[in-house]
Structures are given as C-alpha cells and as structure tokens.
Amino acid sequence: MRLFALCSLFISGMVMADWQLQQPSAIHFVTTKNTNVSEIHSFNDFDGKVTEKGEASLNINLASVDTRISIRDERMQKHLFEVEQFAKASISATIPADVMAQVKAGQVSRVQQAAVLNLHGSDEPLELQLLVAPAASGDVVITSLQPVLVHADDFGLTKGIRLLQDIAKLQVIAEVVPVTFSLTFSPE
C-alpha cells in the first residue's frame, strides 16, 4: 500500500510539472553537396520545454550551427540562416493528453505528432514520427523515429544555398535536408 501511495504521489507530481530540456540532447542535420558527398552537422545551443498542458516548444539558436569547419559555420550563419535578422528557429506542438498520460504511466510510445516549424520568417507544418520513452530517472526522452525533411524553398533558403554553392565553387548543394533529434526533458 505504501508503494502505491508513493507511486501516486510521484505520478501526480509529474502531472503538475512543466518539463525543461536537459542534456544529453542533440539535433543533427545532413547536407549533401556535389551529389554524393554528405556530411553530418549539429546545433549546439537550443532550449525547450513541455508545459503541464502538453504545449511543447523547442528554440534553436541558428548561430550555434556546428559543421566542424569554422568558415563554413560563419558562411551558413551569414548567407543561409541570416542570423542577424533570423536568429532562431522554433518548433511548437501540442502533445495530446493521452500521450501525456502514457508518459506519466511510464510507457514507451510511438507517436505521430503534428508540429509547426518557424524558420527564416516562415511557418510550415510538420508531421513528426517520435519515440517517447520515460527513463528511470524521471526524465523523458523524445527521439525522432524518421528524419524530418526540411525543404529550403518552403523557408526562403534557396537563395542562400545558391550563394553558398557559388562561394564554395560547388556544382550543387541539396535543397532538402534531413534532420534528426534526441531530446531529454526533466520535470521542474
């Protein structure tokens, strides 16, 4: 009986809490140039939270792009993302109550989740395929099961890609970029 009461207190505490993004978390994307040269990159500065009502947000500092080549990072910041005008990208979603209940009950769930990506001044809907896994620590890990395909023309990024292509003297830079993530949230 005491164990049941303790579990009930723990779960009810989770219901009333907001969740903050913690480390380890990661956001990666793959670029392809000259048709067959693909490279993995990441963002190093991002934050997010999920409220007790299931309102989720993720904010990415685009100046934190990390390609492991500093001049390329600078060029992407300036010419592609135009960070002086568009410093952040954000994703927002409302997680359904039944998914929140499954998380609170300690169940691993596969979830199809509608979201909105705001990037470069444009909002576009996304359909995310996620794995939501509660950890023994009380954290929740949300991982993309499929890459999210970001199309440059949806966000007015094609001009920046063409400029980067010219600067680097490349034949082509792909205009569709797959993005993956693994995000760890802890209750406040």
Listed in sequence order, the residues at least 6 apart from 85 whose beta carbon sits closer than 8 Å to its beta carbon are: 121
Beta strands in 35-80 (DSSP E): 37-43, 46-50, 55-61, 65-66
Q: What is the pTM of this model?
A: 0.87
Count Cα atoms within 13 angstroms, Cβ side, for 96: 9
Q: Where are the domains of the chain?
A: 2-187
Tell me how far the alpha carbon of residue 14 is from its chain's centroid: 23
Listed in sequence order, the residues at least 6 apart from 51 whose beta carbon sits closer than 8 Å to its beta carbon are: 18, 19
**Sign of the C-alpha dihedral computed for residues 180, 177, 120 and 125 taken in this order:** negative
Which is the CATH superfamily of the domain at 2-187? Lipid/polyisoprenoid-binding, YceI-like (2.40.128.110)
Going residue by residue through the chain (188 aa), what tens digit of pLDDT does each one get?
A: 333 333 333 333 344 479 999 999 999 999 999 999 999 999 999 999 999 888 999 999 999 999 999 999 999 999 999 999 999 999 999 988 888 788 778 889 999 999 999 999 999 999 999 999 988 888 999 999 999 999 999 999 999 999 999 999 999 999 999 999 999 999 98
